[in-house]
Amino acid sequence: MTEEKAFERLLAQEIEVPSWAFGPSGTRFKVFHIPGEARNVWERVEDAALVHQLTGLAPRVALHIPWDRVEDWDRLKAHAEGLGIGIGAINPNLFQEEEYRLGSLAHPDPRVREKALAHVRECISIMETLGSRLLSLWLADGTNYPGQDDFRARRRRLEASLKEVYAWLPEGSRLLLEYKFFEPAFYSTDIPDWGTAYALCLKLGPQAQVLVDLGHHPQGTNIEALVAFLLEEGKLGGFHFNARKYADDDLIVGSINPFELFLIYHELASAEEEGGVAGETVHRVAYMIDQAHVIEPKVEAMILSLLNCQEAYAKALLVDRDALREAQERGDILLAHRILLEAYRKDVGPLLAEVRRAKGVPEDPLKAYREGGYYERAVAQRG
Ligand code: PSV
Ligand code: MN
């Protein structure tokens, strides 16, 4: 693609940020309090808005319920809009109540499944109040020991529960079903992989699609290949961007594996250039970040995350896809490979500076953040 066309695409790039990335978070060993971190949902929304103001990339913030629950949803919506951002996906929390020890939507006890379903139903009504179109569903359901529960019975309970959820979805909204191959369950997970999520989404219907969280795969999984499969099947719903080294590490996206991020964007950019199912699907993909910064300053971490995505997308847009196709058709393995490498190694700095000028945001958002005194003000106000 030419730089002119890439410029247009980059202007339209949007990635949602998660409210939970701005507040305290930690590991099971320790929650370190990072100076200036947001103390409540109002401040989390303020931080998300600041990130958008400096990058022009993140016009919506995702909420996790009940972490972000407020009495007056209209007030929260007005607060966000007043700061220049909207509310994105609503994420029900089905893993932090005592009752969920053996699962939520797949729990053996119908009363617990009912409780979980009631929570999802409440989240759908919050979506309606806030004008959100996305329900992102991740389940911690699974087992820790062989024999603990019956796999097929869990599967039937899960499917029945998901069908109830699906039936409640408002028109024009989507259920994004997230998978994760382990943790917190250590022996089996009820939706461990993209194939299981895909099979469930097929059963549910067109409003159900798969959510790919980059940290939720076994080591060595070829994420770009599964992204291509889901695009081609019309079932790629969205991403939770982050990076991992060992497990679900929730590190800054692109920090560990920038080439993988580029290859994922290459699949997306190539679908954007096509018609057909993949082309239609890619235009509705919900790009979201899902990170929990444990030791690093949070707003700066989020700005860097967005810039990493912007850079990966820019490089992916510049892949010479006609030449690539030709090389692929001729079976010229190493030319095809080099065409990708060439795009990956391009200096997209000047192009991105132009994009930022056109968006009216600082050419170097990280520098602007560091020099603008935002961090110091947050520390002074919030401690
Ligand atoms: C689970 O690890 C997950 O990726 C899900 O998306 C949750 O909603 C999110 O992290 C926050 O716990
Ligand atoms: Mn996630």
Residue nearest to atom 2 of ligand 1 (CA): 248
Query: What is the Cα–Cα distance from 257 to 358, expressed in whole angstroms?
Result: 29
Q: Any idea what the CATH number is for the domain that residue 207 is in?
A: 3.20.20.150
Domain assignment present for 335: no
Domain assignment present for 103: yes
| pLDDT at residue 194, as a whole number | 98
Amino acid, single-letter form, for residue 198: Y
| pLDDT at residue 80, as a whole number | 98
Is the bond preceding residue 184 a cis peptide, omega within 30 degrees? yes
Domain assignment present for 122: yes
Digit-coded pLDDT (tens) for 172-213 = 999 999 999 999 999 999 999 999 999 999 999 999 999 999
Q: Mean pLDDT score of the chain, rounded to an integer? A: 97
- Token look-up 């959510």 returns 211
Ligand 1 atom index nearest CA of 183: 2
Residue nearest to atom 10 of ligand 1 (CA): 290
Q: How many domains does the chain have?
A: 1
Centre of ligand 1 to C-alpha 138, Å, is 6
Contact 267, 228 (CB under 8 A): yes
Domain assignment present for 58: yes
pLDDT-above-70 percentage for the chain: 100
Check if 141 has its Cβ closer than 6 Å to any atom of ligand 1.
no
Centre of ligand 2 to C-alpha 139, Å, is 10
Check if 91 has its Cβ closer than 6 Å to any atom of ligand 1.
yes
Contact 294, 32 (CB under 8 A): yes
Domain assignment present for 370: no
Q: How far is CA 11 from the centre of its chain?
A: 20
Centre of ligand 2 to C-alpha 330, Å, is 39
Q: Which of 336, 346, 241, 342 is closest to 285 using CA atoms?
A: 241
- Mean pLDDT of the region 39-55: 98
Digit-coded pLDDT (tens) for 250-300 = 999 999 999 999 999 999 999 999 989 999 999 999 999 999 999 999 999
For the cut 90, the answer to whether the pLDDT of residue 383 exceeds it is no
Centre of ligand 1 to C-alpha 211, Å, is 11
For the cut 90, the answer to whether the pLDDT of residue 218 exceeds it is yes
Neighbours of ion ligand 2 (CB under 5 A): 213, 240, 290
Check if 193 has its Cβ closer than 6 Å to any atom of ligand 1.
no
Domain assignment present for 346: no
Domain assignment present for 383: no
Q: Which residues does 360 contact at the CB level (< 8 Å), separation at least 6?
A: 56
| pLDDT at residue 320, as a whole number | 98
Determine the structural domain holding residue 44 and report its residue range.
Answer: 13-308
| pLDDT at residue 275, as a whole number | 84
Query: What is the Cα–Cα distance from 361 to 59, expressed in whole angstroms?
Result: 13
Ligand 1 atom index nearest CA of 140: 1
Digit-coded pLDDT (tens) for 346-372 = 999 999 999 999 999 999 999 999 999
pLDDT-above-90 percentage for the chain: 99
pTM: 0.98
Check if 240 has its Cβ closer than 6 Å to any atom of ligand 1.
yes
| pLDDT at residue 1, as a whole number | 81
Domain assignment present for 323: no
Centre of ligand 1 to C-alpha 21, Å, is 11
